[in-house]
Amino acid sequence: MKNHITKVYCTPIQLKLPVDLERIIKINDPVYSFSEVVAHIDLKKYFVEQKGHETGRPRYDREKLLKIVLFAFMEFGYCSVRQIQKLCETDIRFLWLLDEAEAPSHMTINNFIHNELSGSLENIFNDINRYMFEQSTVDLNHAYIDGTKIEANANKYTWVWKKSCIKSRNNVFHKLSLLLEGINAFMVLYQRAVFEVRQEYAVAYVKYILDTFLEATGMKTEDFVHGKGKHKTAIQRLYDKVYDCYKKLKSYAQRIAICGEDRNSYSKTDHDATFMRFKKDHMKNDQLLPGYNLQMVICDEFIAHYGVFAYASDMDCFQPLMDGFCNRYGFYPRYPVADAGYGSFNNYLYCQQHGMEKYMKFTMYEKETKDAKYRDNPYRACNFAIDHEGYMVCPNGKRFYFLRTVPVKGNKFGRTEEHYQCEDCTGCPYREKCHKGAKDRIVHINEELTKFHSEVLNNLNCVHGALLRMNRSIQAEGTFGGIKWNKGYRRLRRRGIEGVILELGLISCGFNLYKYHLKMLAKRKEEKKAA
């Protein structure tokens, strides 16, 4: 009789863990730096005790939930709730932070982020920064500003354009005016007052027309016929056409209201996202995608402040970003350093009003500094000489006289510019180089803006300015490079402006915590060398 050997379908090797689990975690692991920061913050003040949960399972410890969420974003840049759940089950560092507590489910973590952190994350970010800035002696007066566009969690082909809606709405207005002629003909037959024909029609007014027309004719919508082969009356045909216009006007009004005054587009899947022109891809194609403009203020490699905006221009983001910085720290930075995307008359004037030095490049800064032919061009209005009576004089010796003051088109802050006209350009030997028009040359000048540009050039071209420009390219652009490329965060996960702010706040907390860890490691290394 043969001896049948039973097959073994399991691994005979048993995992053995040491008694002291802390031996597994290396001494230079980020979890120790994280625990140091968290230990100096009172976590209980962020959570309000809620009554009415006396029955059922006990509430999960929210302090431990906060620890694992912050540490996950510190370690991975961005971490999904399912990934956090898996880490709590398998990663020894998360088990250590949980302190023998059961690993939470992904829904518990998700509800905690949305319900608990939405209102308290700003305070958490401030408290974390306050401790780390004290330990690292961060200089908040030197602020390096930069922004980046990041793709929203929205469909690429669900755009709504404000100008297109306005154009279509005007066509509906014209159609309504034609339809009202037919409706007024019926109203006269029923001896009722006619409706006023307008250039524009409010939605409420069109609804009033429909209701009054039905009341005057004695018709009811229940009596209307629909479908193939049904004969509609003239009254029903008119009513249906006006009702279609009413629905379109209502839709256009909603879409224009969503866009608001500052935006020209939005996405149907995320109403707060705006379609922006992103940088060229590897095939050198421009991409028009729904996205947000993320702005950050960097101080000594830490994220001191962040902001999320729904418009593409960096120029419009500067003032609300600095206001947010002041609300967070109680003062404005003395040296705000930014690239040419932020340099404008309004921003320079804003800096002057709030005691900030002007270290933002303007559009033609590179040409002014590197192109001597452009800078020293004698036919530029800013290079014209001033005679003893205060008049601008061209290279031919002709005076320019004040013509008018004109508001700058599209400027929201009332900026104006002065127009000066040459007294006589007839027979000028420099005409081809100076002016190609048929009439006398007119120059547009804003003397205050010219002074601002001169001040910016002096600030940025000195030794201190050169150091600030170098540090801005390293710190500000390096921060976005680390987040987007090192951590792989190139697309948003949440929708809506509030969700994006929450997401960016968690990423900023994680980035600062990891940066503090690296600085502490470098500090210990230097102390060992000194010893």
pLDDT band at 515 (very low <50, low <70, confident <90, very high): very high
**Dmax (CA) of the chain:** 127
- Tokens encoding 15: 């995992």
Q: According to the model, what pLDDT value does residue 326 have?
A: 95
CB atoms within 10 A of CB 458: 11
Relative orientation angle of helices 62-76 and 30-39, to the nearest 10 degrees: 140
Q: According to the model, what pLDDT value does residue 99 have?
A: 86
Tell me the C-alpha distance between 84 and 94, whole Å. 9
pLDDT band at 17 (very low <50, low <70, confident <90, very high): low
Q: Can you tell me the mean pLDDT for 240-265?
A: 93
Q: According to the model, what pLDDT value does residue 203 have?
A: 93
Q: Is the pLDDT of residue 346 over 80?
A: yes
> pLDDT tens across 194-245, in order?
888 899 999 999 999 999 988 888 888 888 888 887 888 888 889 999 999 9
The pTM assigned to this predicted structure is: 0.85
Range with the lowest mean pLDDT among 46-50, 85-89, 287-291, 370-374? 46-50
Tell me the C-alpha distance between 180 and 196, whole Å. 8
Q: According to the model, what pLDDT value does residue 376 have?
A: 87
> Do the Cβ atoms of 114 and 269 come closer than 8 Å?
no
For 269, the enclosing helix (H) or strand (E) is none
Cα 5 to the center of its chain, rounded Å? 68
Q: According to the model, what pLDDT value does residue 388 have?
A: 87
Tell me the C-alpha distance between 147 and 58, whole Å. 43
Q: Mind giving me the DSSP string for 8-63?
A: P-S--PPP---S-GGGTS-TT-HHHHHHHHHHTS-GGGG-----S--SSSPPP-HH
> pLDDT tens across 445-498, in order?
888 888 898 899 999 999 999 999 999 999 998 999 889 888 888 899 999 999
> pLDDT tens across 52-78, in order?
556 667 788 889 999 999 999 999 989
Q: According to the model, what pLDDT value does residue 59 have?
A: 81
Q: What is the DSSP code (8-state) at residue 316?
A: T
Q: Is the pLDDT of residue 19 over 60?
A: no
Tell me the C-alpha distance between 240 and 231, whole Å. 13
Helix (H, G, I), strand (E, B) or coil at 303: strand
Q: Which residues contact 70 (CB under 8 A, 6 or more apart)?
A: 34, 38, 124, 506, 509, 510, 513
Q: According to the model, what pLDDT value does residue 49 have?
A: 65
List the Cα angle 218/224/226 in 5-degree steps: 170
Q: According to the model, what pLDDT value does residue 25 have?
A: 83
Q: According to the model, what pLDDT value does residue 71 have?
A: 95
Q: Which residues contact 368 (CB under 8 A, 6 or more apart)?
A: 374, 375, 453, 457
Strands 159-161 and 265-267: antiparallel
Q: Can you tell me the mean pLDDT for 373-387?
A: 87
> pLDDT tens across 158-204, in order?
899 999 999 999 999 999 999 999 888 888 888 788 888 899 999 99
Q: According to the model, what pLDDT value does residue 469 have?
A: 92
Q: How many helices (H) and strands (E) does the chain have?
A: 17, 13
Q: According to the model, what pLDDT value does residue 112 have?
A: 92
> Do the Cβ atoms of 367 and 375 come closer than 8 Å?
yes
For 524, the enclosing helix (H) or strand (E) is helix 497-530
Q: According to the model, what pLDDT value does residue 375 have?
A: 86
Q: What is the mean pLDDT of the chain?
A: 88
Tell me the C-alpha distance between 241 and 244, whole Å. 5
Tell me the C-alpha distance between 348 and 352, whole Å. 6
Q: According to the model, what pLDDT value does residue 119 have?
A: 83
Query: Closest Cα to residue 342, out of 328, 356, 355?
Result: 356
Residues of the chain with pLDDT > 90: what percent? Answer: 50
B/e letters for 52-89, b = 16+ CB within 10 Å, e = fewer, are eeeeeeeebebebbbbbbbbbbbbbbbbebeebbebbe
Q: What is the DSSP code (8-state) at residue 355?
A: T
